[in-house]
A and B are shown apart, each in its own frame.
Chain A
Amino acid sequence: MWLRRLPTDRIAKRYPPDALVIAAPVKGALGLSAVNDAAVALGLRVGMPLADARAMHPKLAVADADERADFALLEAIAEWCDRYTPLVGLDPPDGLTLDISGCAHLFGGEAALAHDLMRRLERQGLQARVAVADTVGGAWGVARFSPALPPPERGRSASETSRVGVIPSGDERNVLATLPLAALRLPAETIEALSQVGLKRIGDVLDRPRAPLAARFGAEFVRRLDQALGREDEPITPRLPIPAAITEQRFAEPIALERDVLGTIEKLAAKLCALLERRGEGARLLQAALFRTDGKVFRIEVGLSEPLREAARIRHLFADRLGVIGDEVDPGFGYDMLRLAALVTERSEPAQTGLAQPDHAAELAHLIDRLGARFGLRRVTRFVAQDTHIPEFAVMAVGGTVSAHARASGHPVLGSGSPLSRGRAAVEQDSLIPTRPIRLLARPEPVEAIAEVPDGPPVRFRWRHVLHEVAHVEGPERIAMEWWRDEAGYTLMRDYFRVESREGLRVWLFRGWLTDAERPTRWFLHGMFA
């Protein structure tokens, strides 16, 4: 699909001037980077210096080029095209590639799909030329260069049929033969070189021996030719990951109520789950795409802690998610299509559940999913011990999912022994009080502390403007930072003290210094005991 006047259409949607050109700096001067049909009729061409164009037509409407806005529009159109097929590839600056194999029949055939696409784009004020072919290269060339598709001019209605080209399967060769070589997606230099030797149309090169062509014009030339003719496979790079399973529902009348949306999601989820069950899989990441009638698409994703295939739960999760992002999803005039896709799936065997006992694991997984749907799965965490003695790194928060924990720690979650308490902590537990605080500040906070002897424990310290007298202290426990963590080449040393104030406040203080000695030591508060 070629959006032939994308930059001007973007602006003309808002201001419909007669002739519009887009100017962009070319080699230090402003040149025309895009023109609309009215401007073409005035004799303006892309590449012409802006000054010349102004001289010819002083009243010409000029807009600055904005490639990012153009690209954003292209993306928005691609997003909207998602209603036809999940496999939409971007072909910047002004093209889209849709793989419609297997879904054209849903719209009444390839030609009907192309017409539908075109008609809807036209209504949005976008001019497009659509070609359907067996190969990406063939469709590209026909959409842009086929004389059978004359560029329509505003006002004068070229019938829509003339702008949709459907190449019958196996007919690429004949259709392409009539097109200029530029239809092969070749760099300008190659086309130039080819035209110098009198080769202008694709038909001129089709029957020539390949080896000399490749030798003279490069392997790229032959590859493009092969791609257009289908001798070489050319995959479409999809904009979005292709889901593992998809279900969708179209509505004759747009729906807008959240209740209806959720009801539809549940219905689709039931279908999706049946599909996944046959494969012995469960969904780990679900996405609901809501296609609004005006072309906007909302995508709502829900991650799951365990492979899931239960429609009612899926509905709950989306209800939670919608509850959070409610304001961002504005139904406007309603949605005319809803798609539920399992983006990531995982093997999941049906587990046998006891009849007598409540299924705690499943209930917990559901809770984690619901919290995850609302706050993001990354915010639901567990602790996993790490093999380091640096307090900050001794524990890592991993995703709250049961399986993530088991994977990270190598221990079953509901087992008897704790990986933390079995390790180093267990050795230190013969103390009367815990040796590690229950809360650790993300950054140690500087405190003013006074010690009686240079390397001794503190006798009083001021933290957050409050002065505390030390009643009891245990320490020091010396912890050297791992040398590779310090880029300056010095190792930071810390002497930790467990300190109890007169009032009973128990905190973890340390004195830090660098091994190169001369620097002054400083005191920090790192954590709080119970």
Chain B
Amino acid sequence: MLPADMEQLSRLRRAIAKSEALPEEVRPLAFGVAEIDAALGGGLSRAALHELSATALQLGAAAGFALTLAALASEQAKQTLWIATDFGTLETGALYGPGLDQIGLPTERLLVVRVARPVDALFAAEEALKCRALSAVVAEVNGEADLTATRRLGLAAREGGALGLLLRHKVSDAPSAAFTRWQVAAAPSVPDGFGGLGPTAFHLSLTRNRRGPCGDWTLTWNHHERTFSALSVSVAAAPADGPDREALSA
């Protein structure tokens, strides 16, 4: 390759990077867990689209993780919009107000829109992401959000400044323009001294990250303080489960 071509190529790269870069002033959403924040370059970017996916059994956990992120992103005078489909609601139940309050997302800052078709969810998400009065937009979708759709949503999020979360009801490798992709599962909690249930724990796999490395983490969510803390960190690609669990139950 000629040096001139290289020059051209790097100029194009810079142009693309510039056009895809996030606005500087937007503060990323820090998890408060050093390893994750380091991997993400300071935290989850607001004004961008992120994808969460889960297997059918783990949809409760995935919704919970989306809610915790929305709670973290929540700001005074801004609202969170949750977009659900009729089918998804039948399958996994509707959001339940008292539980949302307890997990840390005040319901008076939450709007729920229920749409009939998955494509409507994408339309609603795009409209909502453009709106500057929202701090986070969560859309429950299936496989409908393809590369084009996710790119549109990403651009809309950049315009409006809200945290865009796509909650996929299926784990898929389909191409996507999302900034990060996560696979979410519930992790066994650490029981309290009396054998009761411990704080909510998530097992997170970051499977795509535009800013840096991927990784697996197990976090617990403190719904009083609205903070995450690490339960275990695996730097390398972690095995599905097994060792972690035994370490915990020991």
Taking CB atoms, residues of chain A closer than 8 Å to B58 are 505
Taking CB atoms, residues of chain A closer than 8 Å to B77 are 360, 414
Q: How far is the CB of B9 from chain A (nearest CB, A)?
A: 40
Partner of B189, one of A363, A366, A433: A433
Q: In the bound complex, do residue B78 and residue A500 qualify as a contact, i.e. CB atoms below 8 Å apart? A: no
Q: Residue A432 at the B interface, CB < 8 A?
A: yes
CA distance A411 to B106 in the complex (A): 13
Most chain A beta-carbon neighbours within 10 Å: one of B89, B116, B189, B195: B189
Q: Which residue in chain B gives the minimum CB-CB distance to A381?
A: B112
CA distance A442 to B89 in the complex (A): 8
What is the size category of the interface that chain B forms with chain A?
Answer: 35 or more
Q: In the bound complex, do residue B112 and residue A438 qualify as a contact, i.e. CB atoms below 8 Å apart? A: no
Name A130-182 residues within 8 Å CB distance of B: none
Q: In the bound complex, do residue A425 and residue B59 qualify as a contact, i.e. CB atoms below 8 Å apart? A: no
Taking CB atoms, residues of chain B closer than 8 Å to A439 are 59-60, 63, 92-96, 99
Partner of B133, one of A361, A395, A409, A466: A361
Q: Residue A299 at the B interface, CB < 8 A?
A: no
CA distance A498 to B113 in the complex (A): 28
CA distance A413 to B77 in the complex (A): 9
> What are the interface flags for A53-71 relative to B under an 8 Å C-beta threshold, 1 for contact and 0 otherwise?
0000000000000000000
Q: In the bound complex, do residue A394 and residue B108 qualify as a contact, i.e. CB atoms below 8 Å apart? A: no
Chain A: interface secondary structure? mixed
Taking CB atoms, residues of chain B closer than 8 Å to A442 are 89-90, 93-94
Q: Which residue in chain B gives the minimum CB-CB distance to A463?
A: B57
Most chain A beta-carbon neighbours within 10 Å: one of B65, B102, B103, B132: B102
Q: In the bound complex, do residue B60 and residue A375 qualify as a contact, i.e. CB atoms below 8 Å apart? A: no
Q: In the bound complex, do residue A503 and residue B108 qualify as a contact, i.e. CB atoms below 8 Å apart? A: no
Q: How far is the CB of A42 from chain B (nearest CB, A)?
A: 57
CA distance A528 to B93 in the complex (A): 8
> What are the interface flags for B185-211 relative to A under an 8 Å C-beta threshold, 1 for contact and 0 otherwise?
111110110011111111100000000
Given the known A-B contacts A371-B113, A375-B124, are A385 and B97 also in contact in the complex, defined by CB atoms under 8 Å? Answer: yes
Q: In the bound complex, do residue B188 and residue A503 qualify as a contact, i.e. CB atoms below 8 Å apart? A: yes
Q: Residue A436 at the B interface, CB < 8 A?
A: yes
Q: In the bound complex, do residue A382 and residue B99 qualify as a contact, i.e. CB atoms below 8 Å apart? A: no
Taking CB atoms, residues of chain B closer than 8 Å to A503 are 57, 186, 188, 241
Q: In the bound complex, do residue A441 and residue B93 qualify as a contact, i.e. CB atoms below 8 Å apart? A: yes
CA distance A6 to B63 in the complex (A): 60
Q: In the bound complex, do residue B113 and residue A381 qualify as a contact, i.e. CB atoms below 8 Å apart? A: yes
Partner of B111, one of A358, A368, A505: A368
Q: How far is the CB of B250 from chain A (nearest CB, A)?
A: 14
Taking CB atoms, residues of chain A closer than 8 Å to B120 are 374-375
Q: How far is the CB of B48 from chain A (nearest CB, A)?
A: 19
Q: Residue A109 at the B interface, CB < 8 A?
A: no
Q: Residue A471 at the B interface, CB < 8 A?
A: yes
> What are the interface flags for A112-146 relative to B under an 8 Å C-beta threshold, 1 for contact and 0 otherwise?
00000000000000000000000000000000000
Q: How far is the CB of A268 from chain B (nearest CB, A)?
A: 24
Extra contacts, 17 of them, besides A442-B93, A505-B186 (Cβ < 8 A), are A358-B133, A363-B131, A367-B81, A371-B113, A375-B115, A375-B116, A379-B113, A379-B114, A380-B111, A400-B113, A474-B196, A500-B188, A504-B186, A504-B188, A505-B58, A506-B200, A530-B186
A selection of 19 A-B contacts at a CB cut-off of 8 Å is A358-B133, A367-B128, A368-B111, A371-B113, A375-B114, A380-B111, A382-B107, A391-B96, A400-B113, A434-B223, A436-B96, A437-B60, A438-B103, A440-B93, A440-B94, A442-B93, A471-B188, A472-B195, A503-B188
> A interface vs B, CB < 8 Å?
358, 360-361, 363-364, 366-368, 370-371, 374-375, 379-385, 391, 394-395, 397, 400, 405, 409, 411, 413-415, 418-421, 425, 428-429, 432-442, 466, 471-474, 498, 500, 502-507, 527-530
Q: Which 3 A/B pairs are nearest by Cβ-Cβ distance?
A: A530-B64, A528-B60, A383-B97
